[in-house]
Amino acid sequence: MDSRQPFHVWTLPDGTPWAEFYRGPAGYRVDFPGVAQFSISADGRQIAARPAPGVPDAEVAHLLRNNVEPLARSRRLELVLHAAAVAVEDIALAFLGTSGRGKSTLAAAFAARGFSFLADDGLALDRRREGWLALPSHPAIRLWPDSLARLAPARSRCETTGRRPKFRLLAGPEVPHCGRPLPIGALYFLEESAAVGIAPVSPRDALIELVRHSFLLDVEEERLLRHHFAALGGLVRSTPAFRLAYPRRYEALPAVLAAVLGHRKVAADLEP
């Protein structure tokens, strides 16, 4: 494996490297400094983990499930987005945004209202003859402790994700999970605002946003990039996209959910 400078780096908001990507003859290595190294075969079908000393298994499993597996799937020419998704009237609504933007919080808020969630972050899409389908992911939602305290139903179950302060809110009777693929009905790009609002996004702008919110293992491999852009182009041509702006306050969540549900109802009434 090539141990020289990484060809790509994910950084935290303060600029600290969070994940470093290396390429070599046998495939790829993704380093999460101080936590774990993951080797991914060139075809994306094999993954091996090497945790740093003292790192809990739960933290390694968290990285594998929510970051490394979606990256490997992209190498297999599958489309995986940084998105949460919930089911409303047998249609999947996807919420896209960078880490910390509120995707998981929205998924948990919908689930607490009885709407099944499909995915917490890594949303895989499958193109079928009848259109794009959102595929169910792991039956858990990752939440910070304050979100867990505000949103988790009283009888729900949760578990830690290792040393990280986040918890996994597990699916169950109080937190329903949808275990079957659903047609993707709309894409909502999350923005912070003083008021709740939903505005349409053009296919061109939606494509730009989707590039920012995609899992992609090798950002320099031409064949992978061609396939990825073709898939995103097909998605934006067939799926309406919107900006969902709202205040980042728990007290605003009921208004956000009401706006999305009302918007979905209007859109459904206009569908042929």
What would the pLDDT profile of 52-97 be if each residue is shown by its tens digit? 999 888 888 888 988 899 999 999 999 999 999 999 989 999 999 8
Nearest to 99 by CA among 136, 144, 140: 144
Q: How confident is the model at residue 270 (pLDDT cuts 50, 70, 90)?
A: very low
- What residue spans define the domains of the chain? 8-75, 81-270
In this prediction, residue 59 carries a pLDDT of: 84
CA distance linking residue 108 with residue 112, whole number of Å: 6
In this prediction, residue 75 carries a pLDDT of: 93
Nearest to 194 by CA among 246, 243, 244, 242: 246
pLDDT of 170 > 80? The answer is yes
Contact 81, 96 (CB under 8 A): yes
The superfamily CATH assigns to domain 81-270 is: P-loop containing nucleotide triphosphate hydrolases (3.40.50.300)
Nearest to 211 by CA among 103, 93, 96: 96
Stated pTM of the model: 0.89
In this prediction, residue 267 carries a pLDDT of: 59
Contact 93, 86 (CB under 8 A): yes
pLDDT of 184 > 90? The answer is yes
In this prediction, residue 247 carries a pLDDT of: 94
Structure tokens at 114: 């009885």
Q: What is the mean pLDDT of residues 194-210?
A: 95
In this prediction, residue 163 carries a pLDDT of: 59
Tell me the pLDDT of the chain averaged across its residues.
Answer: 90
pLDDT of 27 > 90? The answer is yes
3-state SS, 197-254, equals: EEEEECHHHHHHHHHHCECCCCCCCHHHHHHHHHHHHHHHHHCCEEEEEECCCHHHHH
